[in-house]
Amino acid sequence: MSDILFIKTSSLGDVIHHMPAVTDARRHQPDARIGWVVEEAFAPLVRLHRAVEAVIPVSSRRWRRAPFSPATWREIGAFRRAMREQTHETVIDAQGLFRSALIARFARGRRHGYDRDSVRERAASWVYDVHHRVDRSLHAITRNRMLTGSVLGYAPEGGPDFGLDRRALTDGTATRDVILLHATARAEKEWPVARWIALARALVASGYQVVLPWGTEAEHGRSVEIAADVPNAAVPERQPLDGVARMIARSAFVVGVDTGLLHLAAALSVPLVAIFTGTEPGQHGPLGAGKIEVVGALGAVPSLEDVQAAVEQIAR
């Protein structure tokens, strides 16, 4: 039995964009044992992927905050031992960063990654045993699928399958909830608060319940600010990602900026409206089997009317 270890640690959007490549690998190697090294915060979501048998959490983000702490070094040692416990026939670093390549270095197996002209950080390619060329201009999902196919000897076909089961996550429960994903770590991706409030009020007037999730204290403050001007808007408690996935799966649809949770909605085939302001949809836009409307573009902030028209399309 072959053994495949994927390394795609973060961010949330990158992790979700890698899921179709893992599904492809399972389809072409049904007897393979598939593992995935991922940042600890994203491990609950990766465990929902039906093809993944082993999840190895890594805490590199937390370690960087206290690099000289004895506790950090103990955890790094334990992680290294976990990586060395099993020999992998194939190790695929789909992240393409120097730090992810160092993680690949811990693994016992033949290490594959992007070549020096395809990789995100050129120094990462020094670590790989085998290099693969993949056009950097392609959508991230396509790049991940092509890299994995090149390693395992097949050409990816068909639309992306994220390996997640929306029906299994809902327990048959559907709601009139509309999830508004206003939060993003980059200011250039934001959509103005006043427009979120106006959109939320219109949704409530149409009989929907508005839900405003958050991940950081700053995002919580923004959710509370929007909810204060919207009748019966809900600001839920912070949840692990598998809980957030269930909340999104039960929703009627999602409206959000270019953020990881928007791509999770697409992966679950939940209808969505994607608001782009600071990134290019052609390379970063959501892909999935549900209804998707994209408004805005890099440097082009969509109006309230643009977003409302898109909502009308997906709500039909």
Other residues' Cβ atoms within 10 Å of the Cβ of residue 59: 17
Q: How far is CA 270 from CA 31, 35, 114, in A?
A: 30, 27, 32
> Residue 227: which H helix or E strand, with range?
helix 217-227
Name the CATH superfamily, with its identifier, for domain 166-314. Answer: Glycogen Phosphorylase B; (3.40.50.2000)
Residue 23: HSE in the Cβ half-sphere, 13 Å Cα cutoff = 22
Residue 1, pLDDT above cutoff 60 = no
pLDDT of residue 221: 96
pLDDT of residue 177: 97
The full set of domain ranges for the chain reads 3-152, 166-314
For 14-43, how does the pLDDT look when each residue is reduced to its tens digit (9 = 90+)?
Answer: 999 999 999 999 999 999 999 999 999 999
Name the CATH superfamily, with its identifier, for domain 3-152. Answer: Glycogen Phosphorylase B; (3.40.50.2000)
pTM (2 decimals)?
Answer: 0.93
For 100-132, how does the pLDDT look when each residue is reduced to its tens digit (9 = 90+)?
Answer: 999 999 999 999 999 999 999 999 999 999 999
pLDDT of residue 148: 98
Give me the percent of the chain exceeding a pLDDT of 70.
100
User: 3-class SS at 261?
Assistant: helix
Q: How confident is the model at residue 173 (pLDDT cuts 50, 70, 90)?
A: confident
Instruction: Examine domains 3-152 and 166-314 and report if their fold is the same.
Output: yes
For 235-294, how does the pLDDT look when each residue is reduced to its tens digit (9 = 90+)?
Answer: 999 999 999 999 999 999 999 999 999 999 999 999 999 999 998 888 778 999 999 999
For 287-314, how does the pLDDT look when each residue is reduced to its tens digit (9 = 90+)?
Answer: 999 999 999 999 999 999 999 999 999 9
Q: How confident is the model at residue 2 (pLDDT cuts 50, 70, 90)?
A: confident
Contact yes or no for 59/79 (Cβ under 8 A):
yes
